[in-house]
A and B are shown apart, each in its own frame.
Chain A
Amino acid sequence: MGSDSMQDLPDAPLSWGDTRWNKTGNWRHMRPEVRERAAPCAKACPLGNPIPKVMTAVSRGDLEEAARLLLERNPFPAITGRVCPHPCEVGCNRRRYDEPLAIRSIERLVGDWIQEHRTVYFPSETGKRVAIVGSGPAGLAAASYLRRQGHRVVVYDRNDRVGGMLVDAIPSYRLPRSVVEREARALEQMGVVFQLGVTIGRDVSVEQLLSSYDAVLVATGAHGERRMGIPGEEHFLGGLEFLRAVRRGERKPPGRRVAVVGGGNVAIDVARTLVRLGASPVILYRRTRKEMPAIEEEVERAEADGVEFQFLTLPTSAVKLDGYLRLVVVRMQLGERDRTGRPRPVPIPGSEFELECDAAIRAIGEVAETEFLPREVLDDQGWVVADKFTGATKRAGLFVAGDLVTGPATVVEAIAAGLRAGRAIDRFVRGEALPVQEKPLPTVPLKEINLDYFPRASRVSIPELPLAARCKTFDEEILGLDLNSARGEAARCFSCGSCNLCANCWIFCPDAAIHLDGDLPWVNLEYCKGCGVCATECPRGVITMKEELAREGAVA
């Protein structure tokens, strides 16, 4: 360089031309990688809901976009937004920082928005026909998916209303019937046909369905009530039977003091329903609170409702006396772990005591009824044998999903299974290979979140009926968030592993090597010196540094 005169120089020492000729990328020995990863919430979600993206949309107040994103993975957010045990909130990185996001409540807000703003979707017809047996969450999810693909879908149910366990077992204070009805109506408007009051295996056989449809999905759930096998068992009511009666209008409790045997969701639903009928339930469970398979939040709510728990107890007989029942109950202790990994309860000899009550309800588990299925898809014990991912059975065209296969599980798991089966059936009726399970994306742990960007903030308080009021009514007990609270709550989301174009990388890059003209930032490696500022300043672990491939002659 050099100049003949000061007059030729600018006042500020600014380069004459642009500096793009100076490709500083060859200084680099680490390179940033822009790669979205799974958030722990989405990974924990059986549906794989794109939660961070939904949160970003909600925080901007864009419910339409949130709805679009959610519906890609979950056809019924208004339902899961109410009854899902929200494993997402357990997975939420914020749980280990302050408090988990109220993801379920936000999902509910979006779900309710969908129910109000839904437009009917008319797919182009494929001419393929699919029968679905069972209108519970698994069957409805498959119906929704398959209809959207353009197949004719007929859903059979032996019941006279759509929804299965959603309307027959889950109490209305957790899931109002109207919510399910709106979903059923939307499916009908889309062209799904419901054949109610038809029992497959009695009115029509599976074989008949198989011969008149291109594929059949059986998702009949688990409605058989497990028996205890003790003397006097005939004096016990079935838990599902009781819940069904209440959902159909029964409001008289079977007695004032009612023993409820079991520790699962049905037992809790029964006990909390009894409270609402004015009875005093006592739950007898043979293990401790820690081992209860029921949704933890529901157990807590049952405790708040005033349900009495007697842990490590098991009835061994029942006799009916003059207007009341006398149960003989033995105390248990926990022994070795069993196949499920839970400690096995063992009776303590000589610890029997008597417990008097007006009625007793048994809710120790539900089993699938499989007798109506072709023999070839069952094993020796009568369990259905099917591919865990697709639900395909040995019989071509016959698929299964939901509690029928897994035994009693959650609504969200049934929806997930129904969708997986739906996707498999779609491929099957098109004559394509069935889908295979994708390798899950790696997740972003809390330590990869740049917490400097996230002041601690407490979780939104979710409105609900006051305790005293909720115990007297079957009205929904948890209420919805308003849009403003939901936006504030959604803004707490770290958006782990999910870029929301916050532009921090762009701001901090000293080489102007980051570009934001796409869905994700990208790095112009011709200029990136590999300083790593972008990776450090990415609040959400989307950018990570990776060593460059060893250059020739470099010492590894």
Chain B
Amino acid sequence: MITASATKVITGNHAVSYGVLLSRVQVISAYPITPQTQVVELLSEFVASGKMAARFITVESEHSAMAACIGAASVGARTFTATSSQGLALMHEMLHWASGARLPIVMANINRALAPPWSIWTDQTDSLAQRDTGWMQIYVETSQEALDSIILGFKVSERVLLPTMVVLDAFLLSHTAEPVEIYDQGRVDEFLPPFSAPYRLKPGVPQALGGLADPGVYFEFRVKLQEAMEKAREAILEEGKRFAKLFGRFYGLVQEEFMEDAEMVIVTAGAMAGTARAAVRELRNEGRKVGLVRIRVFRPFPFVELRQILGGRKKVAVLDRNLSLGHHGIFYEEVKSALYPMAARPLVVGYVLGLGGRDVRPEDIQAIVDDLEMREEAPEIVWWGVKR
């Protein structure tokens, strides 16, 4: 047991593992896939060495991994899995099951581009393609935030009875090491006590979970799910504040920087926010009124926050390392739809860039700001960095 907090230089993947260790997860079921494997590798070592009192269930596929998590969570166990890309796609059916049955499972998804052609590099399309499955989605920027978001994920999930997906960029975050504070178990226990499931299966009293619901009740269960998502907004903020009090770090739904008098705003998510921050800082030094907004929580979507933050700005560039084929960048469409009810909307331009792990450099962000400044209207997609 970790009795004193300590700072270690670890990768994003291992930060997730430590978050799971500190959350006293009871059941882990997973199937290996690059770039996620290190997460469960370290967890399996924790379990094998007795450092973690958990059952590690090895399975033959991600579909089974999620099914095993669902089984464990159905009897009230705190449950975790991790995956990437094709593995997440294979879980799709079970993702609906987990949320529909109101099971507070937490998983880490390491963003990796979908095949074919094969790629192991970062791209947000895998997780964003699961946006309608009823999972909360948290896009983290740093290894510390990855660790913290696992603990926070369980806290919020268990409060609103919805599963949480914590999303990290492949390699840029999953495999790069940075200093991470690993908290003492006592403080984490104080924040995240053992889970007492309000609904759970008990073998002695057999009940059906997720049985047939006729048209007379199915609808209402869906509305309840949506209401839970809405409650989650508040829960994320409240638990975020409680977490900040104990651990000194606050995480909300969105993170805004350099926004005071910003006329142009970069909106992005995940590790790319770090690159954007460097670029924006540079532009600010040059005296340009540029701000940065990082969308941390994608589900539930922070409509209110974005309207407040972006309302009254001149121009917004949304950077998407993802693509909804036949439409456009997914954050772009969501940001636009959030702003639509406003009477005075900024010009919102969607940039699709960095697919399949293509590098995005601070110079790219600065060039995008220049590009945005010149635009008077928004095309459907601005492709950035395509070799024509």
Mask: chain B, 179-222; 1 = CB below 8 Å from A; 0 = not: 00000000000000000001100010111111101101100110
B30 interfacial by beta-carbon distance below 8 Å? no
Q: Nearest residue in B to A4 (C-beta to C-beta)? A: B216
Q: Among A8-16, A98-106, A197-205, A287-295, which stretch is in contact with chain B?
A: A8-16
- Given known contacts A1-B214, A2-B214, A13-B211, A512 and B206 CB-to-CB distance under 8 angstroms: yes
Let me know if B100 and A13 touch, CB within 8 A: yes
- Given known contacts A3-B220, A6-B224, A11 and B199 CB-to-CB distance under 8 angstroms: yes
Whole-angstrom CA separation of A379 from B217 in the bound complex: 89
Let me know if A1 and B216 touch, CB within 8 A: yes
Instruction: Tell me the A1-52 residues at the B interface (CB within 8 Å).
Output: 1-3, 6, 9-15, 17-20, 22
Tell me which residues across on chain B come within 8 A of A19, comparing CB atoms.
206-208, 211
B115 interfacial by beta-carbon distance below 8 Å? no
Let me know if B199 and A15 touch, CB within 8 A: no
The one of A6, A15, A18, A22 in contact with B223, judged by C-beta atoms closer than 8 angstroms, is A6
Let me know if B206 and A18 touch, CB within 8 A: yes
Let me know if B198 and A11 touch, CB within 8 A: yes
Tell me which residues across on chain A come within 8 A of B101, comparing CB atoms.
12-13
B54 interfacial by beta-carbon distance below 8 Å? no
Q: Nearest residue in A to B216 (C-beta to C-beta)? A: A2
Q: How many residue pairs between the two chains, A and B, have CB atoms under 8 Å in the bound complex?
A: 58
Tell me which residues across on chain B come within 8 A of A14, comparing CB atoms.
199, 207-209
Let me know if B161 and A13 touch, CB within 8 A: no
The one of A1, A2, A11, A15 in contact with B208, judged by C-beta atoms closer than 8 angstroms, is A15
Whole-angstrom CA separation of A15 from B216 in the bound complex: 15
Q: Nearest residue in A to B225 (C-beta to C-beta)? A: A11
Q: Nearest residue in B to A16 (C-beta to C-beta)? A: B207
B102 interfacial by beta-carbon distance below 8 Å? yes
The one of A6, A11, A15 in contact with B211, judged by C-beta atoms closer than 8 angstroms, is A15
Tell me which residues across on chain A come within 8 A of B199, comparing CB atoms.
10-12, 14
Let me know if A18 and B207 touch, CB within 8 A: yes
B203 CB, nearest partner CB in chain A, Å: 6
Most buried by A among B161, B211, B223, B228: B211
Tell me which residues across on chain B come within 8 A of A6, comparing CB atoms.
220, 223-224
Tell me which residues across on chain B come within 8 A of A1, comparing CB atoms.
213-214, 216-217
B239 CB, nearest partner CB in chain A, Å: 19
B131 CB, nearest partner CB in chain A, Å: 22
Tell me which residues across on chain A come within 8 A of B198, comparing CB atoms.
11-12
Tell me which residues across on chain B come within 8 A of A9, comparing CB atoms.
217, 220-221, 224
Whole-angstrom CA separation of A12 from B221 in the bound complex: 8
Tell me which residues across on chain A come within 8 A of B203, comparing CB atoms.
512
**Which A residues form the contact surface with B (CB < 8 A)?**
1-3, 6, 9-15, 17-20, 22, 512
| CB-defined A-B contacts under 8 Å, sample of 19 | A1-B214, A2-B216, A2-B217, A3-B216, A6-B224, A9-B220, A11-B198, A11-B228, A12-B102, A12-B199, A13-B209, A13-B210, A13-B211, A13-B221, A14-B199, A14-B207, A15-B211, A17-B207, A19-B207
